Structure 1
Amino acid sequence: MLDAALPSSLGGGGFGLLEQCAVLTEIGRAVAAVPYLPSITMAASALAEFGTPELVDRWVLPVLRGERVLAVALSGFTASGGRVSGTQTAVPFGAFAHGFLVAAADEVFLVDAAAAGVSVRPQQTVDHADACLLELSEVPGVSLGDIGDWLRLRGTVGVCAQQLGVVERALELTAAYAAERKQFDHVIGGFQAVRQRLADAYLDVEAVRLTTLQAAWQLSSDAPAASEAVATAKFWAAEAGHRVAHTAVHVHGGVGIDVDHVVHRYFAAAKRLEFQLGAATHQLLTLGDLLARKP
């Protein structure tokens, strides 16, 4: 049954959004293809917050035990009379999901992957994480209300946290490589241009860290400027993520473009997270709209 403490304890050990972001950062550092972001941080948290005790028993508890996976699809769907139709491609970790949270207009629905009218076609993202093409045709869904923005904001912060881990570890690997790789009998980390590139990357990583923690704290505290903080964090996660990923490849030279080299995994992950839930330009436009509405 629904526990009053459950929404703030997802992930175990009393984990709230800030703690979940710490987990996501470590997932990013390991570039681990695990569905923690959509299944725990977004879907299970939403069901615990807005669902009934029956939904918690059926979905949330099995997810926390690792017995089920939930995926989230936020665009491309319509609903009429509680039935959902539409299509979204590249739904993260949807290929093996047991259920989906699907956004349609001003309502979010929980859809069982085993229901009639659900088509799931496995796909693979640029960094080899699992995804799917999700197609729904008049599928019955359980309404959770108008929580689309809640899901997007929470998911966006989670993307930023994961990107932090990716770029942080990519910079560590690149700095270590620059300290041992020699050209002209000198380590390349001693060259001014390389040092400056690494220093810029360090500042970018710290900018992602600061803005992500600020956004996560404001969102978990229901601060009035949380939406602006989230857009700011995602701008840095996208823009800085792009720069750090390219720095890692450039400093590594030829091995940086070798798909069998570990640094390529970080490059591919950073590029996917750069665009997931809105790239840099989209975030600036969102931030501008939010600020323009203020008196």
Structure 2
Amino acid sequence: MDFTLTEAQRELAALTREIVESSGAPWADLVKAGVVPEDPAELGVLEHCAVLVELGRAVAAVPYLPATLAQTALALSGRRVDPATVLSVALAEDPAGAKTAVPCATSAEAFLVASGDEVFLVQAADLDIAPQVLLDGSEAGTFAFTGGGEPVEGVTPGWLTTRYALGLCAYQLGVTERALELTAEHARTRVQFGRPIGAFQAVAQRLADAYVDVSAIRLTLWQAAWRLAEGLPAEAEVATAKFWAADAGHRVAHTAVHVHGGTGIDMGHGVHRYFTAAKRAEFELGGATAQLLRLSAAM
């Protein structure tokens, strides 16, 4: 099946790339440019994924995924919020507490909390938030959700978690695509023993494997996104996309570090940002084994 993006979707992705590469205030400029629209219905699943791939390529520190997902969920329940408003999503593991490392926890004005079989809108002022710094240096936090807030009608925890996971897969695709590009360029220009290191068989094999892994992340992401966009059952496809994003993302991240050698573990080097972003997405997706178990249950 052809998952090629439409011209409008490609233009949206190109606009996103231009903003995150040149703007000093990317979140404000994404809102101003309409990448975060006033009416969430203007963009669908495929458009959001196209934007998130570009944000992953830049490892952009913007709250796009949780904010737009929350805005879309609220719009489904008949509520509208200013697109510039930072909202976040807390996917509770059980009714007694919220998920560890809620993104944008210290900057969000409110949270959509999935707890039990309901979703609640909870104001940040009503929560005791403990700030955290995630693996990639971005801000987050934790809080205990013991009830309260306003129920969000028409949105289920399953709807929320499925689309959040798909968004993470899209972001991971962007991270791994760019990490592979940087690594391939390094292999072409780094010379050892009178030859570019990419000419050595072991390095070439690692890069070839990484290419296959990135292709698998891409294919499974767009397959799952397309089915969701068409309103088709996608439980197995999303679990498959999560598996590849977590498992292949792990391998690509380590390949980038290993091929870069000593510079790969230098926290001041650009490739380290992609390593930590890929690892964070891997951990947040739940790891490859968890996705295989979900996939086997779905089958």
Assess same fold via TM > 0.5: yes
Aligned residues with identical type, % of pairs: 56
Aligned to 1:71: 88
Aligned to 1:11: 36
The TM-score, its normalising length taken from structure 1, stands at 0.85
Q: Which aligned pairs between 1:199-278 and structure 2 lie closer than 5 A?
A: 199-224=208-233, 226-278=234-286
Give RMSD over aligned pairs.
1.7
Contact map agreement 1:127 1:268 (CA 8 A) in 2: yes
Length, aligned pairs only: 263
In the aligned structure 2, how far is the partner of 1:273 from the partner of 1:201?
17
- Relative to structure 1, the CA distance from residue 119 to residue 206 in structure 2 (aligned partners, 3 Å threshold; closer, same or farther) is same
Aligned with residue 21 of structure 1, among 49, 54, 72? 49
Deviation >2 Å, runs of 4+: 9-14, 85-89, 135-146
Aligned to 1:33: 61
Q: Secondary structure at the residue paired with 1:276? A: helix
In the aligned structure 2, how far is the partner of 1:138 from the partner of 1:147?
16
In the aligned structure 1, how far is the partner of 2:156 from the partner of 2:44?
18
Shift of 1:140: 3.2
Aligned to 1:180: 189
Aligned to 1:133: 142
When Rg is computed on C-alpha atoms for both structures, the one with the higher figure is 1
In the aligned structure 2, how far is the partner of 1:151 from the partner of 1:86?
17
Higher strand content, 1 or 2 = 1
In the aligned structure 2, how far is the partner of 1:87 from the partner of 1:193?
44
- Do residues 171 (structure 1) and 180 (structure 2) align? yes
Gaps of 5+ in 2: 1-33
Contact map agreement 2:98 2:113 (CA 8 A) in 1: no
Contact map agreement 1:152 1:277 (CA 8 A) in 2: no
Aligned to 2:70: 43
The TM-score, its normalising length taken from structure 2, stands at 0.84
